[in-house]
Structure 1
Amino acid sequence: MFYTVCILFCRERTNMSEPVVELSKEEKIVEAKELYSKGSRNFLVKSYDEAADQLSQVCALYEELYGELCDELGMPYLLYAKTLIALSIEENKVLDVQDEQEEDDDDGDNEEENKENDSNGNGKLETVKESENEKGEASSSKEALPETDATATSTENGTVAPTEDIEDDAATNLQLAWETLELASRIFSRQGLNALPNLAEVQTELGNIQFENQILDEARSDYEKALQIYKDLPNTYRRATAEIHYKIGLTFLMQQMSDEGANELEEACALIDAEIEDIKKKKDLTEKDENNIKDMEEIKQEIIAKVQEIKETKEQSKEEVRAALDNFMNPVPKKSVDVSGAGSSFDPSSETVSTEVAKPKDITHLIKRKKPENSEDVPSSPAKKPTIEKN
């Protein structure tokens, strides 16, 4: 009954002074079809706000007429959920832009503060009395400013910063899209083989919600379920499956699993090539066919460039690891210095080696001197002369 409440509220708000005219069942069906047509067109031209309003009214009308799990609600549910997901993605982009602007503003403020500090430092010195007076005036002016009161008033009134509003809207849109896709899944599952392509699309959109929430393992699981549904179908859905392989590759790359990611991206390129070849086999290519070929060629080139970047990064890391292993297994020997000077060399990268030659030690005290033959000729000190006995 959620959509019924929403549509009734919108009608009451827009027609407060006008009497509510009850439409017949046939008129409600016609209105729902017209709204669905307008919502589909606005979705294609990326007017997601208008598309969401119109598709929500479609869901409310069909729910009122047939119930929330009627067959007529399958496609409106699916398109409404896709619109909500697109709205959430746009809101997240707005948040990213605001964050970048805030960072740039902070950097600019820091530069201005540094410049002011430099200019103040280079200016004339003030007396201690003047600086104290200025400090006193500044403190009194700060006490007089009602900044804290204004902040408290805004909080009491319930006002929320625009960034918080956007974040809440994005989360609400994703939550509502999830609930809507669950209803669509139940409808398509009941409809059998003919509804399997729609069921695969529902599963893909569930994966997109998980991807937006950075729940990568769950997103990959939902994408793989969608692939399995497409494989069981007799017709080929190359473009849809190529997109799924691309998104699976992104989940791997975001988890630093480069090999698995590159394989999925290459699979997407192969499917795109096959789709282009099938279109070119037509005898008379329409303008739409040529535009499709051009779009797919551009997408394929972007994917190929991404795969090449992954491979180059991987090869670079392999070379770095190989060089590190070579240095570890085959270390460069340190060169010694030849004291004699022959064939000596110096390696500035090696450790410092002392080139000073050690001086020989003094060993003269260990040599025994030979006693001279004529001891009389050698003068001796009185202390060492022998004593002569007196008769």
Structure 2
Amino acid sequence: MADVSDKMEGKTPKQLLGAGARAYATSNYSAAVQYLSRASEMTVAEEGSPTHDSLGEIYFLYGKSLLELSREEGDPLGDVVPKDVAVMQEAEEEEDGTTKEDRGSDDESEENGEGEDDDDDEEEEEGDEEENENQEELNKTEGENNEGTKEDKKSEQNIASATEVQINGEDAKSHKSENDKTATSENAENAEKSKDEVKDDSSEGAKAGSSGSGENEEESASDLQVAWEVLELAKIIFTKRGEEAKPDLAETLITLGEVSLESENFESAVNDIRDGLEIQKLLYDDTDRTLAETYYKLGMALSMNNKIEEAIENFNRTIQLLKNRIEKLKDGQKSIEKKEVDEMRQLIPEIEEKIVDLRNYTEEVRCFQSCKLSLFEPDMQGQMKDKAEV
């Protein structure tokens, strides 16, 4: 995070809230988090309560900033480095057994001239002849020594194949079961050992602190946890305020749903966003873009929660509300209205494509389930027939 501690010196909570709001508006979420964190600490110290009415806006913006910061840090490099290309290059280097340094040294050796290459080739040919002679002698001795072992291997293979052919015999069953038990017990012991090793390593890593991507994941999870906590406090404060704070309460609930969605707590995300939507439906009409955005977020939460049909319904509702908004603004002369209309017209095809993808996914799932049932159907019929004969 960028250090803004010097800028916070001597500022009041209200000034810090203003600075945090400006940082949030300019997408400087790291600075916003620091400003708002300090503002909340000072206000709690001054008022003596973590749910004082003056903390509502601070908590709300603090939670939104933490949410955006966690999203931002989820992919810190963005599109600067094409990940797939980098991974493919590393894989190719491992397969070839070469690195950038190795390739660089090869290039330098090629630049040294052809005369040296010719001398090296002659030496390599002489070495290859000697190695071939030595290899022939080794092969002869190994062939003599391995004559007996080959016969033993053949007899073992014959025994193994006879065991597999006589799978219905008592001796084969008992022999196989004993081997299976031995293998199972050995595998279990090895699994327990590996589990203990993994636990020890993970505990040591947790104590010492992880590095790289693991460190980013821990920081992101911490940001989301704090975001959820301060938004819950904001919800309490806005609920106490009553009717005048209904818009803020709805926004807080929806943001809580987004935090749950990022944390993969999809059921909670659906419930919070739905609660916020119910409040907004009482506040806004069918031409307000706020409603369209909330229906879209609810559709995303439902799709992640595997409630496909409900998700499609909410996406369709989003499209209808966007069309209502376009119809209202289509004759507007202001540049900001024209820009909004253009944005919404671009959004509609994207949402329609998402609906098509969800329908295709549903069809694939149904096809898979029907194919799975058809595979088991003959076996079920055979079992029923056997029971009837008995």
TM-score when normalising by structure 2: 0.59
SS at match of 1:160: coil
Partner of 1:296: 344
- For 1:74, the aligned partner's letter is G
RMSD, aligned CA: 4.3
Q: Which runs of 5+ in 1 are unaligned?
A: 1-9, 16-20, 117-122, 132-150, 326-391
Partners in 2 of 1:322 and 1:53 — Cα distance? 54
Partners in 1 of 2:205 and 2:130 — Cα distance? 42
- Which structure has greater helix proportion? 2
Cα deviations across residues 74-114 of structure 1 (Å, max 9, x unaligned)? 11111110000011111222399899467445523343239
Cα deviations across residues 330-366 of structure 1 (Å, max 9, x unaligned)? xxxxxxxxxxxxxxxxxxxxxxxxxxxxxxxxxxxxx
Partners in 1 of 2:317 and 2:363 — Cα distance? 21
CA positional deviation for 1:237: 8.0
Correspondence for 2:44 among 49, 56, 63:
63
- For 2:303, the aligned partner's letter is L
Moved more, 256-265 or 205-214: 256-265
Partner of 1:43: 24
Aligned pairs for 1:128-143 (under 5 A) are none
Contact 1:227 1:244 in 2 (8 A): yes
Contact 1:276 1:293 in 2 (8 A): yes
Partner of 2:70: 88
Partners in 1 of 2:206 and 2:264 — Cα distance? 34
Structure 1 runs of 4+ aligned residues shifted over 6 Å read 95-99, 128-131, 154-157, 315-325
Aligned pairs for 1:1-391 (under 5 A) are 31-66=12-47, 67-94=49-76, 100=83, 103-104=87-88, 106-113=90-97, 124=128, 127=131, 158=208, 160-233=210-283, 238-280=288-330, 282=332, 285-311=333-359
- For 1:57, the aligned partner's letter is R
Partners in 2 of 1:268 and 1:48 — Cα distance? 28
Higher relative contact order (CA 8 A, sep 6+): 2
CA positional deviation for 1:219: 1.0
Partners in 1 of 2:207 and 2:372 — Cα distance? 63
Change over 3 Å in CA distance of 1:126–1:106 after alignment to 2? farther
SS at match of 2:214: helix
Partner of 1:345: none
Change over 3 Å in CA distance of 1:230–1:114 after alignment to 2? same
CA positional deviation for 1:235: 5.6
Change over 3 Å in CA distance of 1:240–1:156 after alignment to 2? closer
SS at match of 1:43: helix
Change over 3 Å in CA distance of 1:62–1:212 after alignment to 2? same
Contact 2:286 2:321 in 1 (8 A): no
Higher Rg:
1
CA positional deviation for 1:255: 4.4
Aligned residues: 276
Partners in 2 of 1:130 and 1:156 — Cα distance? 54
Contact 1:43 1:51 in 2 (8 A): yes
Change over 3 Å in CA distance of 1:95–1:221 after alignment to 2? farther
Contact 2:53 2:237 in 1 (8 A): yes
TM-score when normalising by structure 1: 0.59
